[in-house]
């Protein structure tokens, strides 16, 4: 598989990463299924969730595959009153990515990035490379540095 836009951007900035591929099951793009397909623990895989504030601003929140996003905690971390997930039908037009392939790197627009603090305990995390079937493994600190991201707690 060719490198994705997200992987190329990391390579251009000399940020070390491992590019993983897996066989896609279009009927199951869940984090648990992707992790199992890769032979990795689900809590090492971080899913990217695009949220929208009441002011129609957008941000990416990354949370381990074994957790669900707490919308109140996300809003608090972002400093807004309320957030909602971006509807699936709007996701691709907004980010350039489809569900199961959303990456905080290389989206159409650079949105704020928030990484759940459970990643602090891990040497590396695995995130989407920007398309189904491709993942990037890198350190949490490198991801935050590259995206100017911040930690969040829930």
Distance CA 19, CA 33 (A): 18
C-beta separation of 43 from 36 below 8 A: no
**What is the average pLDDT across 38-55?**
97
Q: Please indicate, yes or no, if residue 90 is contained in any of the structural domains.
A: yes
The dihedral through the CA atoms of 123, 153, 147, 58 has a sign that is positive
> What is the Cα 94 distance to its own chain's centre?
15
Predicted local confidence at residue 1, as pLDDT: 67
Q: Over pLDDT 90: what percentage of the chain? A: 97
Query: How many domains does one find in the chain?
Result: 1
Q: Please indicate, yes or no, if residue 153 is contained in any of the structural domains.
A: no
Predicted local confidence at residue 149, as pLDDT: 98
Picking from 2, 8, 9, the residue whose alpha carbon sits closest to that of residue 147 is: 9
The dihedral through the CA atoms of 36, 37, 42, 47 has a sign that is negative
**Which domain does 105 fall in, by range?**
5-148
**What is the average pLDDT across 128-134?**
97
- Whether residue 2 is predicted with pLDDT greater than 90 in this model: the reply is no
Q: What is the pLDDT of residues 63-79, one digit of tens each?
A: 999 999 999 999 999 99
Picking from 119, 120, 118, 93, the residue whose alpha carbon sits closest to that of residue 107 is: 93
C-beta separation of 22 from 34 below 8 A: yes
Picking from 55, 59, 112, 51, the residue whose alpha carbon sits closest to that of residue 83 is: 51
* Average pLDDT, rounded, for the chain: 96
pTM for this structure? Answer: 0.96
CATH number reported for the structural domain that contains residue 73 in this entry: 3.90.960.10
Q: Please indicate, yes or no, if residue 61 is contained in any of the structural domains.
A: yes
Predicted local confidence at residue 80, as pLDDT: 97
Q: Please indicate, yes or no, if residue 128 is contained in any of the structural domains.
A: yes
Q: Please indicate, yes or no, if residue 154 is contained in any of the structural domains.
A: no
Q: What is the pLDDT of residues 109-126, one digit of tens each?
A: 999 999 999 999 999 999
Q: Please indicate, yes or no, if residue 49 is contained in any of the structural domains.
A: yes
Region of 50 please: left (phi>0), alpha (psi -120 to 50) or beta. Answer: beta
């Amino acid at each position: 598989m060719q490198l994705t836009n997200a992987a190329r951007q990391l390579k251009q900035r000399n940020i070390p990463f491992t590019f993983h591929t897996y066989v896609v099951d279009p009927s199951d793009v869940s984090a648990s299924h992707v992790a199992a397909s890769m032979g990795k623990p689900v809590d090492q895989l971080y899913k990217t969730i695009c949220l929208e504030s009441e002011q129609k601003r957008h941000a990416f929140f990354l949370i381990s595959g074994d957790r669900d996003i707490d919308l109140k905690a996300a809003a608090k971390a972002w400093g807004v009153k309320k957030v909602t997930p971006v509807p699936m039908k709007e996701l691709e037009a907004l980010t350039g990515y489809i569900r199961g392939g959303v990456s905080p790197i290389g989206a159409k627009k650079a949105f704020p990035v928030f990484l759940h603090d459970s990643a602090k305990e891990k040497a590396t995390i695995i995130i989407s490379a920007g398309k189904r079937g491709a993942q990037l493994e890198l350190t949490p600190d490198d991801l935050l540095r590259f995206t100017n991201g911040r930690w969040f707690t829930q």
